[in-house]
């Protein structure tokens, strides 16, 4: 076990751009889905102009309400869903374009861990075969793929001889999620997208898996995109946080800063809605009321204005922009209150 | 800060499950199905009968006491036990027992062959349609729906009537009757599996469509397809007998149960017991196949 855990020297032959080159740059990613039966030409704006950078070795947490486009974003990054428009740059190479990195190479370097541990493993396949499948389709022999699967099982804390031959229904939720992580790691990715990877687990198991993820990130030099609706979990694991609302980025910044000094009213509402064990911090009224508006027909201007306590006419007239999101240290919010000359009465105060 | 509670609980070492894991016996899916079947004595008993019918049919030349085609003018419609004929003779003086034994061969072929063909053809089309979605799915499934417009027995009669009698034509027409249903079962199962995360995960690990179908779809479609196919065997035997009865299936003098029923029908008042024998054979065979299929379905139905 200790042999498998040893720290590799940080020189990945696939690292083309060097440490300063972001692992992934997404620019103005957009994906609309056609809706049947909601009128002609009706579309859901699942992801609508999302831009962010993901630096090597960091964990970027993505938070937002259900249906805000988090999962679609994850699938766009892997080209499991093809973006309508926008640009993806992986380690300095444009994704899916001539002269860039092709989808196959991208998928060998970026893997995904899914939320639902019930449907994310083939029920008719022993878990070691599920894990070995990735290496096998990438050209490894069956025995070699099996050997890799066993090595990875050790890395995620499961005894290969005991758990390898089991079927998914013979595993607990936490064990299944470890297998899911192992399956993603089996092809040797550099970046892992964790789509609500711990959301279905109970708290104690969740903590174990989170620590496992941290440890794996260290030993395998991984970069994480961590999608979750659980703010506490995101705060624990993320270096930076991206907040989404109705398919758009509303705030992006270093985790400590976002949690301490949120700039967007939506982020503040989200942070205010966390449950607290502290009696003094109990909240009387919910910080956010109602459901998010329909992504089929989103509000004009700022999409949050229908639920925002500070909404003014300028919010209806113009859509706020995110500003300079490219840097690692920048803390930006798409809100008129953050831009001094936006015309909002509270401009510059937030 | 309260959110740090998560961290505190995280102090449990990540590999704590390594040593504390309970040792359970690992059993494959089909192994566990067999295991459950072992305690289902009803299914086992009928399975033995099915096995006996199959063995008798295969070993017919060794078991049959007489030549099933050997006619006798004087020995027509004789009762049980007449001159060594244990179940008497038919309207042309042929030994009933031998004809029933040989008839089992034809009935089994007519029961299994169309189902097998329909499973392969319909299953393939269904998996393609289910996985491809959109246009291919519409093309395949709407074509199948055309066949659904006719009642199955009517369709079998119509196709056999158009192509003429005979065993091969009978098999073809029954295959055509079963293919749409088989296709639908395979398509539904495939479409269910297709949208699950592990298919997406397989795609994310770089696998092509054919590889995904081979490793991740077929295993999950085979179960429902197998269950449905096993329940079709008895239907196929009945339909084949029906075709023969109408003169559209196996032609005389072949010893087919349906055909025997049809010809002996005229002697119903002379030799009622002899007349009933082919019907009893059809009944026993199809009900045994049905009950075994039911038992296997039950054993396979457990989540896993």
Query: Which is nearest to B240 in space by CA: B191, B278, B194, B193?
Result: B278
Q: Which residues contact A275 (CB under 8 A, 6 or more apart)?
A: none
Alpha helices (runs of H) in chain B, residue ranges in sequence order: 5-9, 17-20, 29-37, 41-58, 60-63, 96-132, 134-148, 152-163, 167-194, 197-204, 209-212, 218-245, 257-264, 272-300
Q: Is A11 a residue whose pLDDT tops 80?
A: no
Q: Give percent above pLDDT 90 in chain A.
A: 35
Q: Give percent above pLDDT 70 in chain A.
A: 93
Q: Is B253 a residue whose pLDDT tops 70?
A: yes
Q: Reduce the DSSP state of residue A101 to 3 states and report it.
A: strand
pLDDT of residue A113: 92
Q: Reduce the DSSP state of residue B214 to 3 states and report it.
A: helix
Residue B7 binned pLDDT confidence (cut-offs 50, 70, 90): very low
| Cis bond upstream, residue B253 (ω within 30) | yes
Q: Domain segments of chain B: what residues?
A: 28-52+105-301
CA distances from residue B26 to A162, A174, A284, B7, B79 in whole angstroms, order as listed: 8, 19, 53, 35, 58
Tokens 């299914």 correspond to what residue?
B43
pLDDT of residue B147: 86
pLDDT digits (tens, 9 = 90+) for B132-174: 878 888 888 999 888 888 888 888 888 888 888 788 898 999 9
Across chain B, what does the average pLDDT equal?
A: 82
CA distances from residue B141 to A291, B37, B148, B151, B218 in whole angstroms, order as listed: 39, 35, 10, 17, 19
pLDDT digits (tens, 9 = 90+) for A276-319: 777 776 666 667 777 778 888 888 888 888 888 888 888 888 88
Please, which residues 214-233 of chain B have a Cβ atom closer than 8 Å to chain A?
215-216, 219-220, 223
Residue A158 binned pLDDT confidence (cut-offs 50, 70, 90): very high
Q: Is B3 a residue whose pLDDT tops 70?
A: no
Q: Which residues contact B57 (CB under 8 A, 6 or more apart)?
A: B101, B104, B105, B107, B108
B28-52+105-301 folds as MetI-like fold (1.10.3720)
Q: Is A52 a residue whose pLDDT tops 70?
A: yes
* A45-71 core/surface letters (b: 16 or more CB in 10 A; e: else): bbbbbbbbbbbbbbbbbbbbbebbbbb
A114–B216 CB contact, under 8 Å? no
Domains and CATH numbers, chain A: 24-124+167-273+289-333 (3.40.50.300)
pTM (2 d.p.): 0.79
Instruction: Please indicate if any CB of chain A lies within 8 Å of the CB of B12.
Output: yes
Mean pLDDT (whole number) for B32-45: 85
Write out chain A residues lying below 8 Å of B221, CB-based. none
Write out chain B residues lying below 8 Å of A111, CB-based. 204-205
pLDDT of residue A184: 92
Cβ neighbours around B266 below 10 Å, total: 10
Q: Pick the residue with more confidence: B84 or A60?
A: A60
pLDDT of residue B23: 46
Nearest C-alpha of chain B: how many angstroms from A343? 37
CA distances from residue B218 to A56, A124, B105, B130, B221 in whole angstroms, order as listed: 39, 10, 31, 12, 5
Q: Pick the residue with more confidence: A130 or A37?
A: A130
pLDDT of residue A131: 93
Helix or strand holding residue A237 (H, E):
helix A231-237
Tokens of B124: 């393939």
Q: Is A47 a residue whose pLDDT tops 70?
A: yes
**Which residue of chain B comes nearest to A169, CA vs CA?**
B304
pLDDT of residue B10: 36
Tokens 């077929």 correspond to what residue?
B218
pLDDT digits (tens, 9 = 90+) for A178-236: 999 999 999 999 999 999 888 888 888 899 999 999 999 999 999 999 999 888 899 99
Residue B227 binned pLDDT confidence (cut-offs 50, 70, 90): confident
Residue A6 binned pLDDT confidence (cut-offs 50, 70, 90): low
Question: Cα Rg for chain A, rounded, in angstroms?
Answer: 21
Instruction: Please indicate if any CB of chain A lies within 8 Å of the CB of B30.
Output: no
Q: How does DSSP assign B58-89, residue by residue?
A: HTHHHH-SS-TT---STTTT--TTBTTBTT-B
Q: Reduce the DSSP state of residue A47 to 3 states and report it.
A: strand
Across chain A, what does the average pLDDT equal?
A: 85
* Contact criterion met (CB below 8 Å) for B56 and B102: no
pLDDT of residue A119: 84
Residue A58 binned pLDDT confidence (cut-offs 50, 70, 90): very high
Q: Is B208 a residue whose pLDDT tops 50?
A: yes
pLDDT digits (tens, 9 = 90+) for B40-59: 888 999 999 999 999 998 98
Which residues, in sequence order, are bridge partners of residue A29?
A50
A274–B3 CB contact, under 8 Å? yes
Q: Is B121 a residue whose pLDDT tops 90?
A: yes
Evaluate whether ipTM surpasses 0.85.
no
């Amino acid at each position: 076990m200790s042999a498998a855990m040893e720290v590799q020297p940080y020189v990945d032959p696939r690292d083309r751009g060097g440490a300063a080159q972001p692992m992934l740059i997404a620019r103005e990613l957009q994906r609309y889905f056609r809706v049947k039966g909601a009128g002609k030409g009706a579309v859901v704006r699942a992801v609508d102009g999302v831009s962010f950078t993901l630096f090597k070795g960091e964990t970027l947490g993505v938070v937002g309400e259900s249906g805000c486009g988090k999962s679609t974003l994850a699938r766009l990054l892997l080209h499991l869903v093809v973006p309508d428009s926008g640009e993806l740059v992986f380690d300095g190479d444009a994704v899916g374009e001539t002269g860039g990195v092709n989808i196959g190479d991208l998928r060998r370097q970026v893997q995904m861990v899914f939320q639902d541990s019930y449907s994310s493993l083939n029920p008719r396949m022993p878990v070691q075969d599920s894990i070995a499948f990735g290496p096998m389709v990438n050209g490894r022999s069956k025995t070699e793929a099996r050997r890799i699967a066993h090595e990875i099982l050790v890395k995620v804390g499961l005894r290969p001889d005991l758990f390898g031959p089991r079927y998914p229904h013979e595993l607990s939720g936490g064990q299944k999620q470890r297998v899911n992580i192992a399956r993603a790691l089996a092809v040797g990715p550099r970046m892992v997208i964790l789509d609500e990877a711990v959301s279905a687990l109970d708290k104690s198991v969740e903590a174990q898996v989170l620590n496992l993820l941290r440890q794996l990130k260290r030993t395998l030099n991984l970069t994480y995109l961590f999608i979750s609706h659980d703010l506490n979990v995101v705060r624990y694991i993320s270096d930076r946080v991206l907040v989404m609302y109705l398919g758009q980025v509303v705030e992006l910044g270093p985790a400590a800063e976002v949690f301490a000094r949120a700039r967007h009213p939506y982020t503040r509402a989200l942070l205010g809605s966390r449950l607290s064990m502290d009696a003094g911090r109990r909240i009387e009224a919910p910080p956010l009321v109602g459901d998010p508006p329909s992504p089929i027909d989103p509000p004009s201007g700022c999409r949050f204005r229908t639920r925002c306590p500070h909404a003014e006419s300028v919010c209806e007239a113009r859509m706020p922009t995110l500003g300079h999101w490219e840097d690692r240290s920048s803390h930006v919010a798409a809100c008129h209150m953050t831009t001094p000359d936006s015309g909002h009465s509270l401009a510059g105060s937030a | 800060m309260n959110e740090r509670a998560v961290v505190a609980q995280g102090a449990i070492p990540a590999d704590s499950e390594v040593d504390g894991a309970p040792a359970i016996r690992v059993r494959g899916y089909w192994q566990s199905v067999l295991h459950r079947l072992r305690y289902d004595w009803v299914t086992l008993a009928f399975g033995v009968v099915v096995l006996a019918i199959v063995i008798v049919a295969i070993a017919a030349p060794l078991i049959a006491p007489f030549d099933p085609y050997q006619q006798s003018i004087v020995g027509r419609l004789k009762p049980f036990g007449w001159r060594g004929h244990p179940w008497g003779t038919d309207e042309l003086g042929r030994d009933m027992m031998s004809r029933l034994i040989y008839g089992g061969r034809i009935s089994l072929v007519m029961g299994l062959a169309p189902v097998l063909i329909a499973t392969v053809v319909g299953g393939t089309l269904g998996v393609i349609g289910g996985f491809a979605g959109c246009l291919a799915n519409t093309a395949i499934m709407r074509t199948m729906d055309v066949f659904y417009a006719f009642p199955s027995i009517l369709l079998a009669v119509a196709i056999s009537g158009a192509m003429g009698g005979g065993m091969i034509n009978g098999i073809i027409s029954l295959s055509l009757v079963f293919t749409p249903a088989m296709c639908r079962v395979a398509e539904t199962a495939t479409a269910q599996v297709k949208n699950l995360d592990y298919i997406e995960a397989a795609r994310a690990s770089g696998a092509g469509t054919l590889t995904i179908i081979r490793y991740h779809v077929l295993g999950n479609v085979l179960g429902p397809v197998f269950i449905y196919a096993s329940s079709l065997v008895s239907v196929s035997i009945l339909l084949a007998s029906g075709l023969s009865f109408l003169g559209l299936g196996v032609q005389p003098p072949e010893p087919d149960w349906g055909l025997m029923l049809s010809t002996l029908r005229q002697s119903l008042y002379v030799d009622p017991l002899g007349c009933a024998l082919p019907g009893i054979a059809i009944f026993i065979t199809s009900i045994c196949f049905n009950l075994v299929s039911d038992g296997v379905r039950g054993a396979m139905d457990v989540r896993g």
